[in-house]
Structure 1
Amino acid sequence: MFGFFLVLPLVIIIITGNQLRARGFYSADDISALMKTLYWVILPPLLFRTTYIAGTEVLKQPNLLIASTLCYILTIIVAYIGSVWFAHRGNVKRVAVSVFSSFRSNNIYLGFPVIQMAMGEAGLHEASIYVAVTTVSFQLLSIAAGEAVLYGRPSVSGILNMLKKLALNPLIISCVLGVIAASFGFSIHFVFDEAMKLMSGAATAVALLALGGSLDLSRMGKIVKILSSTWFDTLIKLAVNPAIMCAVLFLLPISKELFQVTVMLSAMPNAVNCFILARGMGMDSEYAADLVAATTLLGIISIPAWAYILGMV
């Protein structure tokens, strides 16, 4: 029962953000500003502070790096085989969405709030380690897989463009700076530390309001149609991907807390940017939007289920 109450406060805030957008309180520009503020202003101090506290531990997680990369590759293979031979036979653009989105979780706008609700500050500490260790392979493998389906192979320009974006990503920069500061023993004055704590404290509410405002819940009126068309990829994202992560982490063990956080983040619904990136890359963006809606809706059930399986509730 607690698992349901773990998600309910988050759902209330998501619906609040959606209704504020639907009733004109938030415009599209306002939602964009919320996301920009979260991405560039609020999350970087949170990630810097938590990776600073973690210190060089981030650099001592080879099992997490290997296991997560192996999980991503295995998930892509399962999604590709299932979509080509069964779910999306003959529809290349949907097959591309299937492999591209198979493990792209909504870690920032939903995953972090869930982890904070379930585990508090300690959970965010572990979540920051996960982000710092896995982001590069997470981004490169998903985009390369999508391009390989569409064009027969990943484009060099696409990979180089993604590497450039990763180098300028404020979340990655914050993690790297946190590790460097810890490695060289830099001390942070308590005034700046408190400022970062206050800034990061706003992350959960802002992230959920922005997520709610960005979701087109009007599509839920066609929910039966959406679920019937996306069930395969929804199953891959909410069940198969986290199950594979569990399996590889049993072979390549990490700490219990980091294991719980890693699998829980793997079990998150698809990230909203799946739709944005799918459109930009020439995939079936409407199907990607339906997939985001379907996984987010069913996440109300799957997130408490995984929290129970992982012993987080």
Structure 2
Amino acid sequence: LSMGSALFGEAGLALMAIAVAVLTSTANVMSVLALTHFAEASEKKKPHILMDMIRNPLIVSCVVGIVLNLMGIAPSGIAEETLDILGQATLALGLLVVGAAVDLEAFKRAGRTTLTWSMVRLLVFPIVALAAGLLINLPSNSLAIVAIAAATPTASSGYILARQLGGDATLSANLIAVQTVFSVLTMPAFYALFLLTQA
């Protein structure tokens, strides 16, 4: 969101908000379905897919945001300032939680898996997204937003979902940590690739 706003102003922020709403909802629905289906056996009752969807805070927040937007309702004054402060803190807090969960021993055992899927997320997915955008002749600003949104690392909320739904939370934490570090290189690279396509 901050990159979209910094590069293209209000129009970029609006486009990125749409991308975030679509990607967040899609990724969380797919994650809940996968984690619920492949949840590790335990003494607890197997998770219920529909209830996990309904309780997922990211899915709920996207739906609420879309409804409020369609109704023309927007926070203002102290409510807007409070939400803005909380929003700015979420990324740092999420990464602190993930950082605390990183397991170097687990990384040694599953290093190849971690690096392979990190490459898929940071290299293959953005290339496919950028190619698709070029194929359907997206406008320049929209194509840039696609390149930026696709090049972002896996969200720290993935770790929380994995823990809640019986997934491999340690692997999730390692994936997020590795992708966050490497995205410092890959995100500028894909934005530069976008600029080359516009030259």
TM range (shorter): 0.7 to 0.9
Of 244, 253, 258 in structure 1, the residue corresponding to residue 142 of structure 2 is: 258
Aligned residues: 190
Match of 2:96 among 209, 213, 216: 213
Seen in structure 2, the aligned counterparts of structure 1 residues 255 and 196 have a Cα distance that, compared at 3 Å, is farther
Residues 1:227 and 1:161: Cα distance change in structure 2 (over 3 Å): closer
Name the SS of the counterpart of 2:71 in structure 1: helix
The answer to whether residue 41 in structure 2 is matched with residue 158 in structure 1 is no
Give the 3 Å change call, closer, same or farther, for CA 167–176 of structure 1 in structure 2.
Answer: farther
CA distance in 2, matches of 1:233, 1:130: 22
Residues in 1 aligned to 2:76 and 2:156: alpha-carbon distance in whole angstroms: 31
Cα distance change of structure 1 residues 200 and 123 upon mapping to structure 2, 3 Å threshold: farther
- 3-state secondary structure, aligned to 2:153: coil
Q: CA RMSD in A?
A: 3.7
If the length of structure 1 is used for normalisation, what is the TM-score?
A: 0.49
Structure 1: 5+ residue stretches without partners:
1-111
In structure 1, distance between residues paired with 2:27 and 2:113: 26
Measure the CA separation in 2 of the matches of 1:265 and 1:143. 21
CA distance in 2, matches of 1:156, 1:211: 24
Output the CA distance in 2 between the equivalents of 1:274 and 1:233: 14
CA distance in 2, matches of 1:249, 1:213: 34
Q: 1:132 to 1:211 in 2, by over 3 A?
A: closer
Task: Map 1:191-230; keep pairs closer than 5 Å.
Answer: 198=81, 202=85, 205-216=88-99, 219=102, 225=108, 228-230=112-114
Return the alpha-carbon distance in structure 1 between the equivalents of residues 118 and 84 of structure 2.
31
**What secondary structure does 1:283 align onto?**
coil
Residue of structure 1 in register with 2:67 after alignment: 176
Structure 2 counterpart of 1:302, one-letter code:
T
C-alpha contact 2:129 2:147 (8 A) present in aligned 1: yes
Q: Is the 8 A contact 2:158 2:172 kept in 1?
A: yes
Cα 1:271–1:134 shift into 2, 3 Å: closer
Report the residue type matching 1:230 in the other structure: T
Gaps of 5+ in 2: 41-45
Structure 1 segments (4+ residues) deviating >6 Å: 220-224
Cα distance in 2 for partners of 1:233, 1:194 equals 43
* 1:39-118 superposed matches below 5 A: 112-118=1-7
Distance 1:216 1:138, change over 3 A: closer
TM-score by length of 2: 0.72
Structure 1 pair 132–194 and aligned structure 2 pair: CA distance change class (3 A):
same
Contact 1:166 1:172 in 2 (8 A): no
CA distance, structure 2, for counterparts of residue 219 and residue 247 of structure 1: 34
Describe the SS at the equivalent of 1:308: helix
Q: Which residue pairs with 2:43 in the alignment?
A: none
Could you say what secondary structure the match of 1:169 adopts?
Answer: helix
Percent identity over the alignment?
Answer: 20
Deviation (angstroms), 1:267: 1.2
SS of 2:48's equivalent? helix
